[in-house]
A and B are shown apart, each in its own frame.
Chain A
Amino acid sequence: MTTTNRGNATSDELDIITRIRGEVMGNREPTGENLFLAWGYPAAFFLLLQFVALLIWNEAWCYWIWLGTEFVGIPLMVYFLRKDYERTGHRSLNSNVILQMWIYVGCACVIGAVAMGMAGVFEYCFCSLIALLSSMGCFLTGLILRFRPKTVCGVIGTALSFVSLFFQGDLWPWQMLITAIVTIITLIIPGHLFKQYVKNYELI
């Protein structure tokens, strides 16, 4: 190989690197449009159920109704993740960051609930913790995806999570209601907006 050929070959290889990287990273097709709804609806349903159960019976078992969210949300999440992967054939670095972040949020909610139960402070701040964590997840997802409605909903949810702290003592069940509203604001509403956004993106 002469020096000239070597120069051309180098240029070709660099072209390949730039082109493939551009094609892969330039593909900003949004995915995971069903994941927010897969978590949002079960979470809102079980939190509202717990709110009603606490108002009617107010017994110890009512405190754990929210755990039903995990039993419905996890299988739905796995199903939609598989479906998305089959459709697109890949997972981007951003999608992976968002997925890991939400798994972390989910684990923090469950472990936090158990720790608060053991420490005897469950009634004081459990709902606020769930609301705060899901709002932060929503805010950060909005920033990563550059989807403003999610960011705005995350900010509103964060503000409501602080408001829920004021419902203590006999008013505690109402903290549950506020958390259910936060779930609707941070997961269901932006979930539907994002689904619409993905549908429009596919049409383009």
Chain B
Amino acid sequence: MSSFKFPVINPLLHNELRLKIMVALDSLESANFMYLCEITGSTRGNLSVQIKTLQEAGYLEVSKSGSGPSARSVCRITRKGMEVLHVYEQGLRRLFSERVPGDKESLQKIG
């Protein structure tokens, strides 16, 4: 019997759009809302909701530059955000590298 233990996967990051936002901001110093819309290929409404969720979790910080209708939201990843993303990625890599051969076997049995 294998001694493999499943890594704990952060449910907050296990969402396509939230993951895209976090990875994009991890590779940049900061980005505005429009750039994140473009890079993630999402709608403004959906992006806004997911950014708020990540902000409430303390993974992102959002600051407003300017005022009035021309105000822009600038997003940055926090230290906590960087750490959870790193742990999440490591967890996925472990899961992928150690479970996939087993999966192929089970797939063959099913087939």
Check if A14 sits within 8 Å of B96, measured CB to CB: yes
- Select one of A2, A14, A96 contacting B93, CB under 8 A: A14
C-alpha spacing A43/B38, complex, angstroms: 39
Say yes or no: A3-B19 contact (C-beta < 8 A), given A21-B27, A90-B28.
Answer: no
Given A7-B96, A11-B96, A90–B23 Cβ distance below 8 Å?
no
Structural contact, B102 and A24, CB atoms closer than 8 A: no
- Tell whether A16 is near chain B: CB-to-CB under 8 Å: yes
Q: Classify the secondary structure of A's interface with B.
A: helix
Residue in A10, A16, A85 whose beta carbon sits within 8 Å of that of B20 in the complex: A16
Q: Within 8 Å of chain A (Cβ to Cβ): is B49? A: no
The number of residues on chain A lying at the interface, defined by a beta carbon within 8 Å of a beta carbon of chain B, is 26
CB pair A20–B32 under 8 Å, yes or no, is no
Chain A residues, CB < 8 A from B106: 2-4
- Within B27-58, which residues are at the interface with A (CB < 8 Å)? 27-32, 34-35, 38-40
Quick check: B29 and A92 within 8 Å, CB to CB? yes
Contact present for A95 and B29 (CB under 8 Å): yes
In the complex, the answer to whether A3 meets B23 with C-beta atoms within 8 Å is no
Do B28 and A24 have beta carbons less than 8 Å apart?
A: yes
B24 in the interface (beta carbon within 8 A): yes
Q: How far is the CA of A92 from the CA of B24 in the complex (A)?
A: 10
A16 to B92, CA, bound (A): 12
Nearest neighbor of B97 in chain A, beta-carbon distance: A10
B27→A25 contact, CB < 8 A = yes
Within 8 A of B (CB), among A1-19: 2-4, 6-7, 10-11, 13-14, 16-17
Q: Which of B24, B95, B99 contacts A24 (CB 8 A)?
A: B24
Contact sample, A vs B, 15 pairs, CB 8 Å cutoff:
A7-B99, A7-B103, A10-B92, A10-B95, A14-B89, A20-B27, A20-B40, A21-B26, A24-B23, A24-B24, A25-B27, A90-B35, A92-B29, A93-B27, A95-B29
Beyond the given pairs A6-B103, A93-B27, 5 more chain A to chain B contacts, judged by CB atoms under 8 angstroms and listed by A's residue number, are A16-B20, A85-B32, A88-B35, A89-B34, A93-B29
B interface vs A, CB < 8 Å? 14, 16, 19-20, 23-24, 26-32, 34-35, 38-40, 72, 89, 92-93, 95-96, 99-100, 102-103, 106-107, 110
